[in-house]
Amino acid sequence: MIKRILTGDRPTGPLHLGHFVGSLQNRVRLQDEYDTYVLIADVQALTDNFEHPEKLEANILEVALDYLAVGLDPEKVRIVVQSMVPELTELTIYFMNLVTVATLERNPTVKEEIKQRNFVKGVPVGFWSYPISQAADIAIFKADLVPVGEDQLPMIEQTREIVRRFNRLYGKVLIEPRAMLGAVARLPGTDGGAKMSKSVGNCICLGDPPEQVRKRVMSMFTDPKRIHPTDPGTVEGNPVFTYHDVFNPDQAEVEDLKERYRKGTVGDVEVKQRLFEALDSFLSPIRERREQLAANPKRVYEIIMEGTRTGRALAQSTMADVRHAMKIAYKFA
């Protein structure tokens, strides 16, 4: 049987370079081999944006445009809107019985994100327990493989535990998925932070105009100990060079820049200018395609609705199996 992929993104903003190297690239590469479902996770996005639900609708289109612009083919890939598959909510509730409070409290990614988000009125239960609903997302589509960035590894581990527990208790209905990391497991932010992230605003987005990209690159965090272009600088862990390694195909140029940086014979401006050029050639075709697609949103919505219909049918079929296995497929009539 053909294997399946499920992965997704929160519609909290347009997608960025981190998404590309962390997950999108693998989705595009594997779309011929795998039956691929991509979830636009608006319900999960609400868990920390419930005060601004108006953000979601516009960003669903933005995310779908990014998918198509990087080369996900709607003939092969189903784009599914999470809130339009209410079966996910039901499975989440059943899964809640299979997870302890202590396990949720230990989740390192959620802990980190809670710190970042600084919830003033305390942590909403919805946010704190999102690993459970994410497990339902993956399980309902019976995914074998989940291409994600490193921050999502605890979620996949949690999903595997829930699936094992479900199958042991009720019978083997669900599939234990595997995570697949991208070429870069975690792309740092332009601010030098550990992860480029929509909610932090340290991103270069796939559809950003060249001037915006230039601005972000020129103000990028580099080696804080280096004051003058003649000071020897550190390349390791310096995000400008991390980006060069990933996005500049001219490796000889990158090696030359690194050597001169270490010796103190090149300025930050030149290193950044070269990075801007490399990024601009990488982003130009994506941006162009994105603009063409954005001119016809009706077509994009058709793709989303078609994908969501197929996705929901699959979810309904899994739920029939789930209810049967749990002995709650009552036939009272």
Counting Cβ atoms within 10 Å, is residue 65 exposed (0-12), middle (13-18) or buried (19+)? buried
Rg (CA), the chain: 22
Residue nearer to ligand ATP on the CB measure, 59 or 92:
59
**To the nearest whole angstrom, how small is the minimum distance from the Cβ of residue 292 to ligand ATP?**
24
Q: Could you give the residue ranges of the DSSP H alpha helices within the chain?
A: 17-19, 25-30, 42-46, 54-70, 87-96, 101-106, 108-117, 125-128, 130-140, 153-170, 210-218, 239-247, 251-263, 268-294, 297-325
Residue nearer to ligand ATP on the CB measure, 9 or 94:
9
Residue nearer to ligand ATP on the CB measure, 10 or 290:
10
Residue nearer to ligand ATP on the CB measure, 77 or 266:
77
**To the nearest whole angstrom, how small is the minimum distance from the Cβ of residue 10 to ligand ATP?**
4
Residue nearer to ligand ATP on the CB measure, 111 or 260:
111
Residue nearer to ligand ATP on the CB measure, 66 or 223:
66
**To the nearest whole angstrom, how small is the minimum distance from the Cβ of residue 170 to ligand ATP?**
29
What single string gives the DSSP state of each residue in 2-41? --EEEEEE-SSS--BHHHIIIIIHHHHHHTTTSEEEEEE-
**To the nearest whole angstrom, how small is the minimum distance from the Cβ of residue 54 to ligand ATP?**
16
Tokens describing residue 185: 């497991």
Contact positions toward ligand ATP, by CB under 6 A? 9-10, 12, 18-19, 22-23, 148-149, 151-152, 186-187, 195-199
**To the nearest whole angstrom, how small is the minimum distance from the Cβ of residue 259 to ligand ATP?**
27
Could you give the CA distance from residue 266 to residue 19 in angstroms, rounded to a whole number? Answer: 31
Tell me if 91 sits within 8 A of 319, measured CB to CB: yes
Tell me if 95 sits within 8 A of 132, measured CB to CB: yes
**To the nearest whole angstrom, how small is the minimum distance from the Cβ of residue 28 to ligand ATP?**
14
**To the nearest whole angstrom, how small is the minimum distance from the Cβ of residue 255 to ligand ATP?**
24
Tokens describing residue 92: 């989440």
Tokens describing residue 41: 């996770």
Residue nearer to ligand ATP on the CB measure, 12 or 308:
12
Residue nearest ligand ATP, CB atom distance: 22
Task: Give the DSSP H/E element, type plus range, for residue 152.
Answer: none
